[in-house]
């Protein structure tokens, strides 16, 4: 019989000396008994995880996949049902924010200013009517005491900028990320797109102020957001035109990005010169970007299902079961597009995208990403041995019906973490498509869990 250790298969007993050195009071047999118990517990938990995953997630999802309309939906206009909130309670009439809702809706946008003379390099903001339901994707530490993840709404505003400091120009991520009680903070309508988050400001006067508001109808949207901590506000109008569908599985998950033009302003209420915050400064913003709406059913939080993965990660800190990268890019010749690559346990759940060149849509069939390891940033998670790696530079190979789109992306700003395992970021890129050089900038999300 072949020796499994020679075949590269680690035995439980091979970890005994290591564990005994960590816990000198333990004897070999005690360690083996404990490891056996842990192994059995992990197997039972894994079996439960697989069972629930199959019967509560994969089977319903497989039914929905037959009806995924992402590749066949219209890409030049948007029916109103896709911009309106979906997962509300009760099922009809005025939404009741005191009830537990069956899922979440999220409205997002990003834009990149045309002018390099404005300090902000990108604007990303969003309102979500609920959380995703998994630690590492959500930042549970931000939940106010006593507030359930099912009764919180999320406000996010990110404005990477170059600011003046006493020591010179500095790259900063002004990030506002809050979970607020849905019952008191959210104002939402069912018949039109008009969603608003209200909350206490930073003036310590107890007054309720606006955090963010998104309203409008295709193709015109109005967006107003405030980062209360540094007193930064944005007011933008979006005219959307080119759609890319990431998923449209009725009753499960729908998500799209609509690229278009933006114009408006950003105001630094305390000035953009750090250390001299007495002088308000406003800048005109004009540029391109995208407006997005995603919504999904969430019958429960996924932390219990994820427990076996946590156990494995505790033993092997470098183990990461899920990776996700989502990028939207803007280049010359009216080039714009993006991709979504989501992998779990070695399986691609989403690997698709699209781009527009001079108004013509080209489908991205699949994407491969190679990371430049020398540029990686390894950041600790909590007080244990776990860590997460965020990449500063990567190479994208996107297969399209008209040839390869290849580019190298680079994140110039520090990694703005929205949770322990996830960042939102702005980036620049350069590469080639159909024999021509392409370059520009964009927005991305990266998760390693």
Q: Could you tell me which residues are beta bridge partners of residue 389?
A: 378
The number of beta carbons lying within 10 Å of the beta carbon of residue 198 is 17
Structure-token pair, residue 199: 């909350």
Cis peptide before 204 (omega within 30 of 0): no
Q: CA angle at residue 449 from 404 to 352, to 5 degrees?
A: 25
CB 120 within 8 A of CB 160: yes
Which residues are CB-neighbours of 377 under 8 A, at least 6 positions away?
A: 389, 390, 391, 392, 415
In 3D, which of 241, 198, 236, 232 has the Cα closest to residue 215? 236
Burial of 136 (0-12, 13-18, 19+ CB in 10 A): buried
Q: Print pLDDT tens along the chain (449 aa).
A: 433 333 333 434 444 444 444 445 445 555 445 555 566 556 655 655 655 555 445 545 544 445 799 999 999 999 999 999 999 999 999 999 999 999 999 999 999 999 989 999 999 999 999 999 999 999 999 999 999 999 999 999 999 998 877 788 889 999 999 999 999 999 999 999 999 999 876 555 567 889 999 999 999 999 999 998 889 999 999 999 999 999 999 989 999 999 999 999 999 987 766 555 568 889 999 999 999 999 999 999 999 999 888 888 888 887 899 999 999 999 988 899 999 999 998 889 899 999 999 999 999 999 999 999 888 999 988 766 788 999 999 999 999 999 999 999 999 899 999 999 999 999 999 999 999 999 999 999 999 99
Cα–Cα distances in angstroms (integers) from residue 171 to residues 158, 266, 329, 415, 422, in the given order: 13, 17, 21, 11, 20
What residue spans define the domains of the chain?
1-66, 73-302, 306-449
Q: Could you tell me which residues are beta bridge partners of residue 268?
A: 232, 281
Query: Which residue is associated with the tokens 């990686």?
Result: 376
What CATH code is assigned to 306-449? 2.40.370.10
Specify the pTM: 0.85
> Ramachandran region of residue 62, left (φ > 0), alpha (ψ -120 to 50) or beta?
alpha
């Amino acid at each position: 019989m072949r020796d499994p250790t020679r075949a590269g298969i680690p035995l439980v007993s091979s970890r005994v000396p290591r564990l005994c050195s960590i816990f000198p009071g333990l004897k070999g047999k005690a360690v083996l008994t404990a490891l056996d118990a842990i192994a059995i517990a992990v197997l039972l938990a894994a079996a439960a995880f697989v069972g629930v995953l199959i019967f509560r997630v994969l089977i319903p999802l497989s039914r929905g996949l037959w009806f995924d309309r992402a590749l066949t939906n219209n890409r030049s206009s948007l029916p109103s049902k896709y911009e309106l909130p979906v997962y509300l309670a009760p099922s009809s009439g005025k939404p009741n924010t005191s009830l537990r809702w069956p899922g979440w809706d999220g409205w997002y946008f990003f834009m990149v200013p045309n002018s390099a003379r404005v300090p902000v390099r990108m604007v990303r903001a969003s309102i979500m009517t609920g959380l995703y339901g998994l630690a590492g994707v959500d930042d549970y530490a931000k939940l106010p005491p006593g507030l359930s993840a099912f009764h919180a709404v999320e406000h996010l505003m990110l404005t990477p900028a170059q600011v003046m400091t006493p020591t010179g120009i500095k790259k900063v991520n002004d990030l506002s990320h809050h979970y607020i009680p849905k019952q008191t903070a959210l104002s939402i309508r069912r018949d039109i797109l008009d969603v608003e988050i209200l909350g206490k400001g930073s003036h310590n006067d107890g007054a309720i102020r606006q955090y963010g508001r998104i309203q409008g109808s295709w193709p015109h949207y109005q967006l107003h957001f405030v980062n209360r901590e540094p007193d930064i506000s944005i007011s933008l109008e979006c005219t959307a035109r080119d759609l890319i569908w990431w998923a449209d599985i009725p009753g499960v998950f729908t998500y799209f990005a609509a690229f278009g033009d933006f114009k408006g302003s950003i105001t630094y209420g305390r000035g953009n010169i750090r250390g001299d915050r007495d002088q308000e400064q406003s800048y005109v913003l004009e540029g391109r970007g995208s407006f997005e709406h995603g919504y999904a059913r969430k019958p429960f939080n996924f932390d219990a299902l994820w427990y076996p993965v946590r156990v494995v990660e505790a033993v092997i800190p470098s183990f990461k079961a899920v990776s996700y990268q989502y990028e939207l890019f803007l280049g010359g010749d009216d080039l714009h597009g993006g991709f979504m690559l989501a992998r779990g346990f070695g399986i691609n759940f989403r690997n698709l995208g699209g781009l527009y060149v001079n108004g013509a849509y080209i489908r991205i069939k699949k994407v491969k990403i190679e990371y430049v390891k020398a540029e990686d940033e390894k950041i600790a998670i909590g007080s244990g041995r776990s860590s997460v790696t965020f990449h500063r530079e990567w190479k994208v190979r996107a297969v399209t019906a008209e040839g390869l789109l290849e580019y190298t992306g680079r994140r110039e700003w520090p990694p703005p973490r929205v949770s322990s395992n996830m960042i939102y970021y702005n980036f620049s890129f350069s590469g080639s498509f159909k024999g021509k050089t392409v370059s520009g900038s964009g927005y991305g999300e990266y998760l390693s869990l």
